């Protein structure tokens, strides 16, 4: 069996479990390569069982080293009725994925269950070479799309139109799709970190925040740049300079051993000391098969960075009602320092 399954097995004793039940679809995919919305993987000491419903049974048959068990659409209900017969207990399950109803279904025949959280997510946070290669390719596609955007006229176009244009540019550059719904936030909307691009027309004297990333071979990229439209009012130009400085300070401190809260604090302190704006979100997050993974970079995060993590560094400066700035890079944590994957310029770039 592959090395990822072996790493998970290696953790069984520490959990006090005989079997690990994986139900988060991204975790199943990480461990087996099997891509399905409805599957349960049972990793026992000596065998691996994959239960999935009829839609996926054929593709499950192509996964090496697993026993395929055709299950009902309600996979947890199906498992709950026979868990004790299939594998040895106690069975650790993913407490950050299984719902209360799912837990009830799994407990139906009284098999001993143990909640475990962040187990496979923890394994996933350190990327292997093939994963790093996919993330690098996703980032290159993303950078190429931003380079196209830099030459594109946007004044008078709506946020939604620009978001759609950028999604097509990602495709043209080789993305399998967007890694998440693209954010284009202009004028006062740029003060809203999770704005959905709408019908607002982009105009002069404002900032436009563009947050986008390509999905390539299952791996995500994540990048934000803030553009100027025409001449910016002083406070937005100041917000840009502050955000860039805070972003670069935090970025320079990315290294194995740094904690998520340390890094967050570097950018947060710099922005708060300016008195320009409060800090309204954490500094960043891990990225991989999913757009939000471990480690987490925010206040009180005890996550410790390790070589091979892929994280974002994305402070924002938001002036309520007037506009905002966010700058986000995707970086690989390395022994020799951070490897920045999103290389589009951070000089203030003006769009027409």
Q: Which is nearer to Zn ion, 4 or 225 (CB)?
A: 225
With binding defined as CB under 5 A, does residue 211 bind Zn ion? yes
In this chain, which stretch among 14-22, 115-123, 134-142, 217-225 interacts with Zn ion, using CB under 5 A? 217-225
What backbone phi and psi angles, to 5 degrees, belong to 158?
A: -80, 160
Q: Please, what is the minimum distance in Å from the beta carbon of residue 204 to Zn ion?
A: 25
Contact 86, 42 (CB under 8 A): yes
Q: Please, what is the minimum distance in Å from the beta carbon of residue 328 to Zn ion?
A: 5
Considering only residues 313-332, where is the footprint of Zn ion by CB under 5 A?
328
Q: Which is nearer to Zn ion, 43 or 327 (CB)?
A: 327
In 10 A of CB 90, how many CB atoms?
A: 15
In this chain, which stretch among 35-43, 151-159, 192-200, 211-219 interacts with Zn ion, using CB under 5 A? 211-219
Q: Which is nearer to Zn ion, 23 or 224 (CB)?
A: 224
Q: Please, what is the minimum distance in Å from the beta carbon of residue 346 to Zn ion?
A: 15
Q: Which is nearer to Zn ion, 167 or 211 (CB)?
A: 211
Contacts with Zn ion: how many residues (CB under 5 A)?
A: 5
In this chain, which stretch among 100-108, 153-161, 239-247, 309-317 interacts with Zn ion, using CB under 5 A? 309-317
The DSSP annotation for 199-262 comes to: SPBP-TTEEEEEEE-EEETTEE--EEEEEEESSPPHHHHHHHHHHHHHHHHHHHT--TT-BHHH
Element (H, E) at 135: helix 129-149
Terminal CA-CA length for the chain: 55
In 10 A of CB 151, how many CB atoms?
A: 8
With binding defined as CB under 5 A, does residue 309 bind Zn ion? no
With binding defined as CB under 5 A, does residue 270 bind Zn ion? no
Q: Which is nearer to Zn ion, 39 or 166 (CB)?
A: 166
Cα–Cα distance, 304 to 255 (Å, whole number): 9
With binding defined as CB under 5 A, does residue 142 bind Zn ion? no
In this chain, which stretch among 117-125, 261-269, 305-313, 342-350 interacts with Zn ion, using CB under 5 A? 305-313
Among residues 131, 206, 222, 329, which is the contact residue for Zn ion, using CB under 5 A?
A: 222
Cα–Cα distance, 52 to 60 (Å, whole number): 8
Among residues 312, 330, 333, 342, which is the contact residue for Zn ion, using CB under 5 A?
A: 312
With binding defined as CB under 5 A, does residue 264 bind Zn ion? no
Q: Which is nearer to Zn ion, 57 or 253 (CB)?
A: 253
Contact 122, 15 (CB under 8 A): no
> By C-alpha distance, which of 148, 145, 232 is closest to 187?
232
- Do the bridges between strand 323-326 and strand 316-319 make them parallel or antiparallel, or are there none, so unpaired? antiparallel
In this chain, which stretch among 34-42, 186-194, 220-228, 233-241 interacts with Zn ion, using CB under 5 A? 220-228
Contact 12, 18 (CB under 8 A): yes
Cα–Cα distance, 71 to 52 (Å, whole number): 5
With binding defined as CB under 5 A, does residue 290 bind Zn ion? no
Contact 159, 186 (CB under 8 A): yes
> 308: which residues sit within 8 A by CB, 6+ positions away?
126, 127, 128, 132, 332, 333
Q: Which is nearer to Zn ion, 206 or 328 (CB)?
A: 328
Considering only residues 143-202, where is the footprint of Zn ion by CB under 5 A?
none
Q: Which is nearer to Zn ion, 265 or 286 (CB)?
A: 286
In this chain, which stretch among 98-106, 137-145, 310-318, 336-344 interacts with Zn ion, using CB under 5 A? 310-318
Residue ranges in contact with Zn ion by CB under 5 A:
211, 222, 224, 312, 328
């Amino acid at each position: 069996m592959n090395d990822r399954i072996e790493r998970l097995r290696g953790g069984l004793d520490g959990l006090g479990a005989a079997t690990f039940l994986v139900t988060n679809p991204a975790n199943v995919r990480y461990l087996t390569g099997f891509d399905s919305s409805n599957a349960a993987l049972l990793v026992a000491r000596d065998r691996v069982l994959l239960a999935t419903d009829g839609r996926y049974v054929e593709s499950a048959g192509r996964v090496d080293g697993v026993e395929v068990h055709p299950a009902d659409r309600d996979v947890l209900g199906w498992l709950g009725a026979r868990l004790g017969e299939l594998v040895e207990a106690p069975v650790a399950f993913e407490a950050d994925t299984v719902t209360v109803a799912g837990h009830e279904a799994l407990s139906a025949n009284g098999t001993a269950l143990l909640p475990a959280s962040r187990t496979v997510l923890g394994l996933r946070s350190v990327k292997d070479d093939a994963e790093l290669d996919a993330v690098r390719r996703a980032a290159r596609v993303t950078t190429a799309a931003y380079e196209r955007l830099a030459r594109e006229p946007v004044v008078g176009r709506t946020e939604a139109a620009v978001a759609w244009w950028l999604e097509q540019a990602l495709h043209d550059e080789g993305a399998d799709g967007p890694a998440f719904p693209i954010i284009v936030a202009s004028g006062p909307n740029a003060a809203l970190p999770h704005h959905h691009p709408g019908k607002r027309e982009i105009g002069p004297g404002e900032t436009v925040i563009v947050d986008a990333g390509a999905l390539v071979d299952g791996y995500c990229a994540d990048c934000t740049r803030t553009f100027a439209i025409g001449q910016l009012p002083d406070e937005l130009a100041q917000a840009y300079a502050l955000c860039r400085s805070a972003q670069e300070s935090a970025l320079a401190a990315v290294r194995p051993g740094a904690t998520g809260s340390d890094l967050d604090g570097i950018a947060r302190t710099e922005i708060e000391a300016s008195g320009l704006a409060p800090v309204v979100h954490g500094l960043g997050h891990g990225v991989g098969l999913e757009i939000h993974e471990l480690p987490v970079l925010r206040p009180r995060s005890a996550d410790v960075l390790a070589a091979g993590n892929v994280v974002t560094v994305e402070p924002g400066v938001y002036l309520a009602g007037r506009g905002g700035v966010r700058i986000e890079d995707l970086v690989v944590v390395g022994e020799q320092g951070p490897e920045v994957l999103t290389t589009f310029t951070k000089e203030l770039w003006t769009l027409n």
